[in-house]
A and B are shown apart, each in its own frame.
Chain A
Amino acid sequence: MEQKQSGCTGGAETVLNLQPNSTISITYHPHFGPHDDLILLEIDDKLLPDVLHQRVTLRGQPNEDAVLCTQSKTYSIKFVGNSNSVFLIPPVDQSALHELPQYSDEKDDDQRVVASVIKVAPGNMELVEVAPRLDKLKLLLLENPFISEEVSEKEGLEGMDEQKTNLFKWNDLIDRVQASDDELRSGLRALSAVEIDGYWRIVDEKYMGTILNMLLHNSVLNDWSLDALGEDEVVGVLESDGFPRTLGLHCLQVYGSKVDEGVGSCVWKLDERRLCIHFAREILKDGKRKMESFLEEWIQKIPDGMQASFDMLEGEVLTEKFGVETWVHAFSVSSLPSNPAARFSMLFQERPKWEWKDLQPYIRDLTVPGLSSEGLLLKYTRKTQPNSDAEPVFSAR
């Protein structure tokens, strides 16, 4: 349909395609107003396809700052004001904007074309990539850890009480945790969470230890190699000992890795380091121990054929010297917050001064988009070095 050339309404198209040697009138639209429901959001060209193909969502509770999530990343949304006058001109043919009908000023007979401003934008929203906010995930799942009593109360895992409010399915977690789908999945893996009856659960550590001990006991009884455990066999034997199949499999996932075999049932290999950490935590759960006593008990608990070395425990334990004695206590990086400011605060509460070799295992998992580990240290610590031969020491700012 051809547009009349006299006094007709143009819009964005007219402005953007303004021909050489022509003039148009810019006016306030008949429905000019604040239109707070119209928001400008700056989007990187790389993200644009995701936005235009409906692959982004806003996530957050009403009391939280909203984040925008793609499949794999999380962005915080910030408003940036603009002191300039930004006149926003919509295109004319807009079926989506029902309240902006076209109009033509029939009184005006001159050749004037008009483009109308619907609002003056005070600024725009912009996106800043952030680390996913996963601390909440841990809090939610620890509200109701899966304990062995749950198994004995019911027949297997069926018929779980659905009225419990602190049990979360995947969609419940998406509703509450400000992270993208991929990051949420990673977070669940990092917490060794397991899906039972559609609910994501963290299994109580003591119960996991019981299952592991049963597995190790059976491996001796049945002469299994800890480097080549047959999934079906292991899960089957654990099931006959009263442990649900899901948890038997979960035990293999937590303490081992699949060995690539190809044909037939899966084969698993127990991971030396994870086992050693598990036993160390078990020994230290009631408090600190003298180094000699700890080492003696630790080496005795570790299965035959496995080697324990103290540096496996970096990021899990700390040592202190009292006179000539060295004591060791549990201090796990997994118990610390993922937010850098909170993390450093807890670290300096534990110990006011740190050498780099001790500090590194406790901060290497910190991810802040756009900030390197040097940047993190600069931002959150004070570095002192008495002389060039001495080790630098980090303390609170």
Chain B
Amino acid sequence: MQIQVKCGCAEEKCPEWAIVELQGVVEVQPSFQGTLQNLEIGQLCRPSSQENYTFTVGYHELSGSKVPLKKPFVVLKKTRHLDANQNGDSKSSSVDLEVVGIIRHRILFKARPKALISSMFYLILLKPCLFSV
């Protein structure tokens, strides 16, 4: 069995995806479980012209930077097709793999988070996402 890895884009035009990576888990408040879609996780800020970033989730502020991946990732999309056989009586499935993007950088947060304690009450009331290590 052979599956060709398809790619509709040439090297220069391959859409670049982004990764924001945290050392820890983002927890969603119980009242928001099940309705994650469109929920804000946090605020990503670039304070200066350097590639340093802060990411504020709940009452934690994470500090990190944009780093190149040591080896790029391609984003593959796997599609399963059900093909009817020539006689039409039995079906077989085939798999398609397509490159839909490339990732060369990630914004990595690995330092210990800073707790913004004074904002705690405000954030518990309004922010649906909290960060824990």
Contacts and interface: CB of A to CB of B under 8 A. Distances in A.
Interface of A: 11-13, 15-16, 18-32, 37-45, 48-49, 51-54, 56-62, 68, 84-91, 93-94, 96-97, 105, 115, 117, 121, 124, 174-175
Interface of B: 1-11, 14-26, 36-49, 53, 55, 66, 69, 71-79, 97-103, 105-107
B21 A44 contact: no
Given A21-B48, A38-B75, A174-B2, 13 more contacts: A12-B101, A25-B43, A26-B41, A39-B78, A40-B75, A52-B9, A52-B99, A58-B3, A68-B5, A84-B24, A89-B17, A89-B19, A90-B17
A93 to B, nearest CB: 8
B76 A20 contact: no
Most buried by B among A31, A32, A175: A32
Contacts of B9: 52
A97 B3 contact: no
6 contacts: A12-B101, A22-B46, A23-B44, A24-B45, A39-B76, A86-B21
B79 A37 contact: yes
Given A18-B53, A89-B17, A97-B100, A58 B46 contact: no
B68 to A, nearest CB: 11
Contact of B23 (A13, A51, A84, A93): A84
A20 B47 contact: yes
Most buried by B among A96, A97, A121: A96
B10 A52 contact: yes
Given A15-B44, A85-B22, A91 B74 contact: no
Given A21-B46, A124-B73, A28 B18 contact: no
A18 B39 contact: no
A87 B39 contact: no
B103 A40 contact: yes
Contact of B101 (A56, A60, A87, A90): A90
A107 B59 CA distance: 25
Contact of A85 (B10, B21, B39, B103): B21
Task: List the 3 shortest-distance A-B pairs measured between CB atoms, nearest first.
Answer: A12-B18, A15-B18, A23-B45
B13 to A, nearest CB: 9
A27 B41 contact: yes
B2 A58 contact: yes
A54 to B, nearest CB: 5
B60 to A, nearest CB: 13
